[in-house]
Homo-oligomer: A and B are copies of this chain.
Amino acid sequence: MIEIEALFRITYGLFIVSSGDRNHGNGFISNTVFQVTSNPPQFVVCCNKDNFTAGLIGKSGVFSVSILERDTASDILGRFGFRSGKDFDKLEGMSIKYGQTDVPIVLNASIAFLECRVVSTIDVGTHLMFVGELIQSALLDNTKEPLTYLYYRQVKKGTAPKNAPTYIGGSKPEQPKEAGVFKKYRCMSCGYIYDDEKENIRFADLPGSWTCPVCGTDKSDFTEL
């Protein structure tokens, strides 16, 4: 028997993994970044094969990891976690530093970063694991704690996007149900807010097929404010 709740007790951080170069880059939210050796220091990131950034890592052979702070704003998580770089320049308007390899490194909401050069790529089915040797790392803010996946799920009531290694269909954490209270919901992709009080129908009563009127994102990717 497989008990899904057991899997959620594995602790993960949350990161923006980026790749590309000065002309063209992209990044995505990952919970799968970890050190595998200390001599030399090597790190693994795991990406869905459909992930746009996975293609950039394969092509450029470099990636960066931005370690997110606990209070990362939802629009950063939505921008990098729930939209694809295929049809949208996620780095536009962001605070970007370019590494020694010219890889873009996202500085917004980041307390530290790593820059790695890929030394091997492992196919694990739906996902690829990239093993990278560390080129540089820096601490940006010593006063803030890192964002963990548990905090994101429990406090920010967040879900995993469909491409995440930990995605479980409909695995939204339980939310308190209060009858007769108007609520607001934010689209994790574009930031559009659905306000129960201003609409004829409450968000909870909208059909599952309803999508964001601004960007077309699924109802299930809205988060309660």
Interface residues of A (CB under 8 A from B): 1-7, 9-13, 15, 32-42, 44, 46, 67, 111-114, 120, 122, 124-127, 129, 131, 134, 136-139, 142, 145-146, 148-150, 164-168
Contact = CB atoms under 8 A, between A and B. Distances in A.
Given A1-B136, A148-B148, A35 B11 contact: no
Given A32-B34, A40-B125, 18 more contacts: A1-B136, A2-B136, A3-B112, A6-B114, A7-B114, A7-B137, A9-B139, A10-B15, A10-B35, A11-B12, A11-B146, A32-B35, A34-B46, A36-B124, A37-B124, A37-B126, A38-B126, A38-B168
Query: 10 tightest A-B contacts by CB?
Result: A11-B13, A6-B112, A6-B137, A9-B112, A6-B139, A9-B67, A35-B165, A5-B139, A36-B124, A36-B46
A42 B7 contact: no
Nearest to A65: B10
B32 A138 contact: no
A151 to B, nearest CB: 9
B38 A166 contact: yes
Contact of A67 (B10, B112, B166): B10
Query: How many copies of this chain?
Result: 2
Nearest to A10: B13
A42 to B, nearest CB: 6
A138 B6 contact: yes
Contacts of A122: 120, 122, 129
Contact of A139 (B3, B13, B32, B125): B3
Contacts of A3: 112, 137-139
A109 B77 CA distance: 34
B114 A124 contact: no
B34 A34 contact: yes
A6 B165 contact: no
B166 A35 contact: yes
Contacts of A36: 32, 46, 124, 127, 129, 165
